[in-house]
Amino acid sequence: MILALFGPPGSGKGTQAKYLIRSLGIPQLSTGDMLREAIKSGADVGKRAKDFMDRGALVPDDLMIALIGERTSQSDCQKGFLLDGFPRTVQQAEALDRLLTSRGLAMTAVLSFKVDRAELVARLSGRLVCSRCGASYHERAKPTKVEGVCDLCGGSVGKRPDDRPEVVESRLETFMTSTQPVEAYFRQQGRLLEVDALGSEEEVKQRVAAAINGGRAG
Ligand code: AP5
């Protein structure tokens, strides 16, 4: 099974990805997480990506396509994988199609998360992330039991640098101009499944499961 989660920043892709990988037994390939790891470890990819991420811009396609090409060739991806944050441009979507075709594979479905702008801003402005395991929290909607400490691993929890209000604006703008056209690309292929991503995590989780099981792409 090869799935992709598509949606604007803060639409809940990372949150739902964690549930999905547990139920489907496939790895989560979050390009955002991969880039943040590369920045932390001082890898070349991270050095090239940092300035783009700090500004809320997209990292160049060639770098992202190479990153996904390499990651999907690893052994844990043989039974499938869940893309989270990729593809984000039509060029990336086309490159992904070529890559999958060359391996005799095809995308199963792309789940497109729908959330209005006010809710996106509210979610991102209050988001807290564990620096060790990546678990996601929210200052008001989903606080940690102990302030600043991850419930799951005890790591320290804080804000992501690109969740500053001015960078959020820029990320939302980038989504509208560069990423939104990817939705039409997959709709044309009949692989798009729209999911109402407003409501509680549990409600969204049920809708995601229903979309995958129903599989009525449009
Ligand atoms: P990335 O890390 O992928 O960020 P993003 O797409 O902007 O998505 P987010 O992680 O911000 O949001 P999400 O949808 O995962 O929401 P989450 O579940 O965390 O990318 C970062 C940067 O890397 C990009 O800006 C770009 O520079 C670069 N990059 C990455 N991939 C790239 C690519 N392919 N090409 C080029 N550049 C690339 O939830 C958010 C908050 O909401 C949390 O607090 C959560 O607790 C809360 N929440 C979740 N669900 C609910 C709910 N149902 N109700 C209430 N609150 C909820």
Determine the atom of ligand 1 nearest the C-alpha atom of 60.
36
Of 53, 78, 85, 63, nearest to 162 by C-alpha is 53
Q: Which protein residue has the closest C-alpha to ligand 1 atom 55?
A: 200
pLDDT at residue 215 in the model: 65
Q: How far is the CA of 14 from the centre of ligand 1 (A)?
A: 6
- What is the C-alpha to C-alpha distance for residues 194 and 111, in angstroms, rounded to an integer? 6
Question: Which distant-in-sequence residues (6+ apart) come within 8 Å of 145 by Cβ?
Answer: 151
- What is the C-alpha to C-alpha distance for residues 105 and 99, in angstroms, rounded to an integer? 8
Name the percent of the chain in helix, strand, coil, to the closest 5.
50, 15, 30
Do residues 91 and 208 make contact, with C-beta atoms less than 8 angstroms apart?
Answer: no
- The DSSP secondary-structure symbol of 149 reads B
Consecutive sets of 10 residues in the chain, 218 residues long: mean pLDDT of each? 97 95 96 95 96 97 97 96 98 98 96 97 95 90 95 96 95 97 96 96 96 72
